[in-house]
Amino acid sequence: MIQVTFMHRRSAAMLLCVASFLGGCSNWYDTGTTPRSAGYRPGYPSFDVECVPQVTEGRSGLDVHLRTVTPTLTFLKVEGGFSARLLVQVRVMELDGETQVAEAAWPETLTVASYPETQSHPSLHIRRFVPVAAGEYRVRVQIEDLATGKTGDRVPSVVVPRVIEGDPSLGGLVLSRRVAGGDLEPVVGFHVPASRETLFARAPAINVPTGTPLRVEYTICRYVTDTLRATAPYLFMPTMTAMERKRIFPQSIDTVLVARETRNLGADGRVLDDPLPPLGRGVYQLALYVWGPGQDTTEASAAGAIKYFVVVGPSFPRPVLVKDLVDASGYLAYRHEQAALDTLRDQEELRTAFDRFWLSMTRDKRRAVRLMRTFFARIEEANRLFSSYKEGWKTDRGMVYAVFGPPESVEKKPESEVWYYNFPGPYQGNVFEFRRVFFAPAKLAIEEYLLRRSPVYEASWDRMVQKWREGEVY
């Protein structure tokens, strides 16, 4: 195995002050994850989904993994705690979106012991196998909150590989991490929190007898991306082309790892069950190629799978690294304050500057703590709702959400969404339109919503920042 590059991961301790409130061929396919940043639907269940193609005991189908976001569910008081009741529905559709080929539906219940647990991030992991023939599909996954009747949905695309006699094929390529008890559990979703726990890449071989020698190659590549937080909505109005160029740079790729070797298929049937090197934040592509005995080792003749994922902060969606806390606070900083913060690199200096910023802004420690709870709760919620190739709080929608709060109403359009607020001031300063765009590479299909910037927002932005600084936001 040749390890070309290792990405270095850094971590920082939480601030003492912050701790108080944080308390190709037919055998090639993409995994069925939903990498797109979904449109904002306040009050609806939010969840991650991964549809993993499998062939088990001669049956082909999808292993559907769901992970709910607990704070978006409605919990009712029951004996012994609080309970959320859900109805899960999975419909496998042809690519036309009209022809249904398989369906499954079942109820789920999530029960926690105390109210604070209803607002924490630990979630319910749901797994269900749905039989379906080989082919390319769209999978509509819906979770209905039975207490409110509101339904969240995701529509990933997936390919179930065709098994050809004599040719190796692959099941689902998944990332897994050890949980309590030592078992490996799939990491569901596009965003993978950085962790000291080793991340594993796993994939079973299909149509291959135990002991067969297979030629295996897998690579991990990291895309260079924009990691900056959004700028204030009035500062400039770049063209769409300029905005797209700022996001992901498909021609700039760092190779993290390359591995090539011959492996004899073990009794567990997995052709890949390998720990990955430590991965820093960023957008990654994991590609796997497998060739059977006597096959030409060209990409065209390989059984292959590809998976995209984003490594985010260690406690995602909650920000805990001091650099993130300082950067997010910049939304409320005056320009001279931000210029001073931008020059800091040392961790102790950042901690000191963070405390000084919030205390000088409010001139009262208790008020500072209250405001920080409110502000960073919005930052956490923005991460849940708007993360795409970078954390949600750094996006245009995350910026507006953090400073202005949830909109009074949201208008959904085919290529945009419009947020309406009802603050004092001109109507134009209370309406934010976000255009939906996609970024290269095409297979990654990351969807982002970019704000139509305008000088008209300067007065409403300054007015809202001042309300924060005077302690008038709750």
Strand partners, 130: 62
DSSP line for 254-288: EEEEEEEEEEE--TT-EEEEEEPPP--SEEEEEEE
pLDDT confidence bin for 76, thresholds 50/70/90: very high
Rounded to 5°, the CA angle 324-327-33 comes to: 50
pLDDT at 444 over 60: yes
Of 63, 18, 76, give the one whose Cα is nearest residue 174.
63
Of 62, 66, 22, nearest in space to 45 by CA: 66
Amino acid 32 reads G
Per the omega criterion (within 30 degrees of 0), is the bond before 441 cis?
A: yes
Q: What is the mean pLDDT of the chain?
A: 83
The mean pLDDT of 175-186, rounded to a whole number, is: 85
Q: What are the tens digits of pLDDT across the range 200-228? A: 999 888 878 888 899 999 999 998 888 88
- Looking at the predicted structure, is the pLDDT value of residue 30 above 60? no
CA distance 342 to 339: 5
Identify the pLDDT of residue 338: 87
Distance CA 208, CA 396 (A): 48
DSSP letter for 427, please: G
Give the whole-angstrom CA distance, residue 367 versus residue 373. Answer: 10
Query: What is the pLDDT confidence band of residue 15, given thresholds at 50, 70 and 90?
Result: very low
466 or 239: whose pLDDT is higher? 466
Per-residue pLDDT reduced to its tens digit, 268-324: 888 888 999 999 888 999 999 998 888 888 877 888 888 889 999 888 888 988 999
Q: Of 112, 166, 103, 109, which is closest to residue 132 (Cα–Cα)? A: 103
404 exposed, middle or buried (CB, 10 Å; 0-12, 13-18, 19+)? Answer: buried
The answer to which of 19-23, 126-130, 248-252, 401-405 has the lowest mean pLDDT is 19-23
**CA-to-CA distance for 410 and 41, rounded, in angstroms?**
8
Which pair of structure tokens corresponds to residue 430?
């209370």
How far apart, in Å, are the Cα atoms of 328 and each of 238, 255, 324, 339, 395? 22, 30, 6, 14, 11
* Local confidence band at 44 (pLDDT 50, 70, 90 cut-offs): confident
Q: Regarding predicted confidence, which is higher, 246 or 183?
A: 183
Pairing assessment for the beta strands 303-312 and 191-193 based on DSSP bridges: parallel
The pLDDT confidence band at residue 37, using thresholds 50, 70 and 90, is very low
DSSP label at 54? E
In tens, the pLDDT along 389-433 reads: 889 999 999 999 999 999 999 998 888 999 999 988 788 889 999
Question: What residue ranges in 57-99 does DSSP mark as E strands?
Answer: 59-68, 76-78, 81-93
The token pair at 262 is: 């011959």
> What is the mean pLDDT of the segment spanning 9-32?
37
Residue 198, pLDDT above cutoff 90: no
pLDDT tens-place string over residues 94-124: 988 789 999 999 999 999 899 888 877 567 8
- Closest C-alpha among 271, 207, 277, 234 to residue 459: 234
User: Whole-model pTM?
Assistant: 0.82
Secondary structure of residue 464 in the 3-state scheme: helix
For residue 232, what pLDDT is reported? 93
When pLDDT is averaged across residues 139-145 and rounded to a whole number, the result is 95
| Least confident range of 67-76, 139-148, 433-442 | 433-442
Q: For residues 364-368, give the mean pLDDT.
A: 88
> Across 94-211, where does the E strand assignment appear?
100-112, 125-131, 135-145, 150-154, 157-160, 169-170, 174-178, 184-186, 191-193, 199-206
- In which band, very low, low, confident or very high, does the pLDDT at 445 lie, cut at 50, 70 and 90? low
Q: What is the pLDDT of residue 419?
A: 96
How many C-beta atoms lie closer than 10 Å to residue 166's C-beta? 6
Using CA atoms, how far apart are residues 209 and 205, in angstroms rounded to an integer? Answer: 9
**In the predicted structure, residue 243 carries a pLDDT above the cut 60:** no
- 237 pLDDT band, cuts 50/70/90, is low
Q: How many CB atoms lie under 10 A from the CB of residue 6?
A: 12
Smallest Cα–Cα separation from 61: which of 132, 128, 159, 164? 132
CB 142 within 8 A of CB 89: yes
**Residue 68 pLDDT:** 87
Which two three-digit tokens encode residue 161?
Answer: 């590989």
For the segment 114-138, the average pLDDT, to the nearest whole number, is 85
Report d(CA 141, CA 154) in Å as an integer.
Answer: 5
Q: Return all residues near 425 (Cβ < 8 A) that are at least 6 apart.
A: 459, 460, 463
Half-sphere exposure of 458 (CA within 13 A, CB side): 7
* Whole-number pLDDT of residue 84: 93
| pLDDT recorded at residue 104 | 95
What whole-number percentage of the chain has pLDDT above 70? 85
Cβ neighbours for 331, distance < 8 A, ≥ 6 positions apart:
229, 399, 402, 403, 465
| Distance spanning both ends of the chain, measured CA to CA | 55
Q: How far apart are CA 137 and CA 131, in angstroms?
A: 13
Confidence of residue 145 (pLDDT cuts 50, 70, 90): very high
